[in-house]
Copies of this chain bind each other. A is one copy, B any other.
Amino acid sequence: MALEHAILVSLAERAASGYDLARRFDKSIGHFWQASHQQIYKVVARMQTSGLVSSIAVAQEGRPDKRVYQITRGGRSLLYEWSRTSTPTERLRSEFAVKVRGMQFGDPEAIAADIHTHRDAHQQQLDLYRADEIKNFPHPDTIDPKALGAYLVLRGGIRYEQGQIDWADEMLELLSVNAVPTPRSPTHRDRTGQLL
């Protein structure tokens, strides 16, 4: 039900069409929960059936009509009740970590390259978050209570990205120290029998 909750939070902030929601799930709320437009249309339709949201059709000039969804009282009340139930602790789930874990069965150079790529991607995301922080929260001591949640998750995102970068740096450092011995010798063959 996490997607329902994410949609409710987003609609509680502001009414939106399915398309708008899909774009928000590419940014803001999507930094912490992703969803495709296909999934959003399906789930938001179901949420209307169960009374959590209502919708009105809006005609537009020069653009297709859209259906704008609003959160209902029932939706707000569900959101409130949800906030009072404890969220089970989440565990890490990372295909990247599985790959690193199994590095002895793979190509160390390719994996090192992948670590580099990951480092760059997380650096990029960190830069975006930092810009967002400077733009929207220049005075951390006096945060508008309505924006406090957004600020706190932004801080979490920043910490997460920085953590990923630091981890990547540690791995690359350890890989260069514990370097795999002399790769280019003709006696070394990979599993398919090809020379390395």
Contact = CB atoms under 8 A, between A and B. Distances in A.
Interface residues of A, number: 79
A148 B159 CA distance: 25
B110 A84 contact: yes
Interface stretch (A37-45, A47-55, A58-66, A95-103): A95-103
Given A29-B98, A90-B95, A95-B87, A174 B152 contact: yes
Kindly report how many copies of this chain are found in the complex they form together: 2
Contact of A83 (B83, B84, B103, B148): B103
A77 B149 contact: no
Contact of A95 (B2, B107, B151): B2
Interface string A73-95: 10011011011101101111111
Interface of A: 2, 5-6, 8-9, 12, 29-34, 73, 76-77, 79-80, 82-84, 86-87, 89-107, 110-111, 113-114, 117-118, 121-122, 140-143, 145-146, 148-153, 155-157, 159-160, 163, 166-167, 170-171, 174-175, 177-178, 180, 190-192
